[in-house]
Structure 1
Amino acid sequence: MATFIDPLVRTKKVIVCCGAGGVGKTTTAAAIGVASAAAGRRVLVLTIDPARRLAEAMGIPEAAREPTAVPRARLDALDVPPEGELSAWMLAPEVVFESMVRKLAKDEAHAKEVFANRLYQHLSKIVAGMQEYTAAEALHALSTDGRYDLVVLDTPPSRNALAFLEAPRKLAMFLDERVIGVFLPHKSAFMRAASDLIEKVFTRAFGAGFFDDLQSFLGVFSGMFGGMRAHADAVRSLLLSQDAAFLLVTSPEPAALAEAAFFQSKIRELGLPFAGYVLNRSWAYTRGFVGPETIELPEGAGDTERLALRKLGQLADTERWRAQRDRDLLAKLRMQTESGAAIATPHLGGAVEDLAGLGALAKNLVQLDNR
């Protein structure tokens, strides 16, 4: 039976995976990419910080300046049809920034002027905190350039992802010329007086010369603010549209479930299209589990054999309790969605770090085997 994720991987343009750290969110995003490629689509998995072995399995090189395609031979092993393609890229904020400048600059000379600006050089090196904002720009560029049918975005762990969810709105507010204009040189006496006051405040806070650098930075950028704001608005429109879907990945751990509930409330508050839950690393599906009570001891079995069988029974009871716990959690998650969209993925015994594992997980995501 097909799951609620099956139509998502076949029709959506953007799937955003959110959730706490350590729940297998990156692996789930990669598996969704595999599932969509297996459906014959051209897919990009845009990730933040994949595990080293998972990155190697998908062929993601460190410090890549553009997405890398998974070799055809590896896709053939996953039964991906010829028209299906899978690429991956670990988000590089400085590369996204540079690409955005080149697209929005009037010409190459203008772009070089921006790159040479001292404040821009410092800004482009501040990677921490930029990932969430550049993720929105990368999502715009990569979902609209025609290369991919679907972009799967693996957001930063825990509540840092909220910066990504709100980035388009905040960027559009920041790029309001009425705000930016206060910092630029003016002919108006009133605006000059306001600018002088701001300069004094900035000089006291950051030292002499900073305000001049800021004015220079905003001056070379001023012709691009309209394009940047248009991108921000386009990303927000895309994320609010039916072309997008937000998935919450969680695990049976109480802390992860609490984070998932927080994310769901925030997603609804922002009006984003929430698609459902993935309860990862779950024991909800016993998949043909047979208890030791079906074992018949041979005649003449001694106390050792009987004791061993009793201990097996105790272990089986623990497994049954764990399976029932996860089924109850899955039922609770389904009650928290309007359409009952929640699925559990099996615990595969450890971290999924190769394409074969991703292929197995992908099948479980789109095809339910509830035994």
Structure 2
Amino acid sequence: MSKTRLTVSVGGGGVGKTTTSAALALAMARSHKRTLVITVDPARRLADALGAQVGQQAVPVSFGPDSDGWLYARMPDPRASLDDFATWLFEDPVRRKHLMDNPAYRELGDSLAGVHELVTIGLLQHEVDSGKYDEVVLDTAPSRHALAFLTYPGRLLGLLEARSLAWLAALAHVADVSNLEEHPRTGLLEWGRSKVEALVGKVVGLEGLRNLSALFGDMVAVRERWAGLARRTNTMLRDPTTRYFIIGAPTGGAMADVSYLANNLSRHGLNPSAIVLNRAEQDAPESEQVLRRTLDNGGADRIDATMRDALRTMLQTLGAEHTERSEAARKACERLQAIAPAGTSIVRLPFVHRNEPRAIVVALADAWKAAGID
């Protein structure tokens, strides 16, 4: 069985990252590589780009006979993902039910920052482990902080391997927090422990303390399984075959995000495989080209003089805008060449004059193929 390759797509907001990621996945699928595109972003950008009903489980996405049966998409829902992850993590149905019935499980899942990303990365690792796909494309949330997930496996391992987890699980004897009140303890260590427990109890209440204790107790029961997943994920994210694509655009803000993300990868000992300048090549739309040809080939004689002058002024303005954008793209490419680490490819993708999202994905998939990236 061939090894699944992971490509991670990162970038700031407004650069077309999700559409570009979907197009990359389509280009891979057209090469008859079984490809899954999955997103960390809880927004529905991926479904919009693919023009398909994408949800919690991986579903096939059709773009025609050259990719049918090869392209799949998954867009985890935060709440359902947490339950799916817990189902995988807790093989014992009794222990699993005990966890899911715990109010603290719901509260933490809804309130802790990074839980959705952490769970999605776990589901991603599960998909890679399954061996069902040749390629997996991970579309991250549109943020210059999108690479924070690189630290999750290590931080999780630190928690799971710490003695403090077992201590937290033992808070208030897990099942009987009433012992805090009914059975006074003696000794300096027990005195200190009881003070901490009493303090936590004042913050969350005794019932909340009981629920938290039970939650940590459940985590202790499966921490080896969870730690094994975290280790595999840490290895996967740093595997030499894993690719990081930074998506940008020829604007000042987007270029600043590219520089920040490249430096962030470097701090983690990683380099981007490619920096992608989206909307770099921009030909005039077909409607504008038709209008120019009409005016240049005698059509102007059939148009009112005032209208003819107005159309020519409009075309001159549009032409100046195209020139300005092309110059901005050229300067952006020069800047990327200067900041890109050795071995990083610079990929230019065109601005696509389409309104329908699927048409944009198809056009960008063609551009990916033309760039020799798959």
Range into which the TM-score falls when normalised by the shorter chain = 0.7 to 0.9
Structure 1 stretch displaced more, 157-166 or 279-288: 279-288
Alignment of 1:67 onto 2:58 = yes
Structure 2 matches for 1:12-27, cutoff 5 A? 13-27=5-19
Correspondent of 1:200 among 198, 201, 208: 198
Correspondent of 2:227 among 226, 229, 253: 229
The offset of 1:242, in angstroms, is 1.5
Q: Distance in 2 between matches of 1:296 and 1:106?
A: 73
Correspondent of 2:353 among 349, 362, 371: 349
Structure 2 matches for 1:1-371, cutoff 5 A? 13-47=5-39, 48=41, 49-51=43-45, 54=48, 57-60=51-54, 64-71=55-62, 74-76=63-65, 79-80=66-67, 85-126=70-111, 129-185=114-170, 192-283=190-281, 312-313=315-316, 315-337=318-340, 338-349=342-353, 353-354=357-358, 356-368=359-371
- Provide Cα deviations, 1:130-185, integer angstroms capped at 9, x if missing partner: 22211221111111112212111111121342332221122112222312122132
Q: Distance in 2 between matches of 1:56 and 1:247?
A: 20
Cα 1:75–1:21, aligned 2, differ >3 Å: closer, same or farther?
same
Structure 2 counterpart SS, 1:345: strand
Cα 1:277–1:352, aligned 2, differ >3 Å: closer, same or farther?
farther
Q: Distance in 1 between matches of 2:25 and 2:360?
A: 13
The offset of 1:221, in angstroms, is 2.1
Cα 1:101–1:192, aligned 2, differ >3 Å: closer, same or farther?
farther
Q: Distance in 2 between matches of 1:296 and 1:28?
A: 36
The offset of 1:204, in angstroms, is 3.1
Question: CA contact under 8 A between 1:19 and 1:249: conserved in structure 2?
Answer: yes
Structure 2 counterpart SS, 1:22: coil
- Provide Cα deviations, 1:104-140, integer angstroms capped at 9, x if missing partner: 3252122111112221132234486422211221111
Structure 2 length-normalised TM: 0.80
Question: CA contact under 8 A between 1:101 and 1:111: conserved in structure 2?
Answer: yes
The offset of 1:45, in angstroms, is 0.9
Question: CA contact under 8 A between 1:20 and 1:158: conserved in structure 2?
Answer: yes
Cα 1:171–1:69, aligned 2, differ >3 Å: closer, same or farther?
same
Question: CA contact under 8 A between 1:240 and 1:273: conserved in structure 2?
Answer: no
Question: CA contact under 8 A between 2:18 and 2:49: conserved in structure 1?
Answer: no
Q: Distance in 2 between matches of 1:142 and 1:296?
A: 57
The one-letter amino acid paired with 1:130 is: V
Q: Distance in 2 between matches of 1:341 and 1:210?
A: 52
- Provide Cα deviations, 1:192-233, integer angstroms capped at 9, x if missing partner: 445323212312333333222211111122111121122112
Structure 1, unmatched stretches of 5+, are 1-9
Question: CA contact under 8 A between 1:281 and 1:346: conserved in structure 2?
Answer: yes
The offset of 1:34, in angstroms, is 0.3
The offset of 1:15, in angstroms, is 0.8
Cα 1:351–1:23, aligned 2, differ >3 Å: closer, same or farther?
farther
Taking every aligned residue pair, what percent have the same amino acid on both sides? 24
Cα 1:106–1:31, aligned 2, differ >3 Å: closer, same or farther?
closer
Question: CA contact under 8 A between 2:22 and 2:50: conserved in structure 1?
Answer: no
Cα 1:179–1:312, aligned 2, differ >3 Å: closer, same or farther?
same
The offset of 1:69, in angstroms, is 1.2
Question: CA contact under 8 A between 1:171 and 1:232: conserved in structure 2?
Answer: yes
Cα 1:219–1:189, aligned 2, differ >3 Å: closer, same or farther?
farther
Structure 1 stretch displaced more, 14-23 or 345-354: 345-354
Superposed CA RMSD: 3.5
Q: Distance in 2 between matches of 1:303 and 1:196?
A: 91
Q: Distance in 2 between matches of 1:196 and 1:172?
A: 28
Cα 1:94–1:273, aligned 2, differ >3 Å: closer, same or farther?
farther
Structure 1 length-normalised TM: 0.81
- Provide Cα deviations, 1:295-319, integer angstroms capped at 9, x if missing partner: 9788xx9997789767745543442
Structure 1 counterpart SS, 2:138: strand
Question: CA contact under 8 A between 2:275 and 2:344: conserved in structure 1?
Answer: no
Structure 1 stretch displaced more, 174-183 or 281-290: 281-290
Q: State the number of aligned residues.
A: 348
2:178 is matched with which residue?
none
Question: CA contact under 8 A between 1:267 and 1:274: conserved in structure 2?
Answer: yes
